[in-house]
Amino acid sequence: MNITGHNSFSGCRFCEIQGVFSQKHKHVYFPSKGTNVKKNHSDWLSHINEIEVASTKDKKPLIKKYGKYK
The number of folded domains in the chain is 1
Range of 25's domain?
1-70
Percentage of the chain beyond pLDDT 90 is 4
- Which pTM was predicted? 0.50
DSSP string, 8-67: STT--SSB----EEETTTTEEE---SS--PBP-HHHHHHHHHHHHHS-HHHHHHHHHHHT
pLDDT reading at 39 higher than 70? yes
Give the pLDDT mean for 30-40. 73
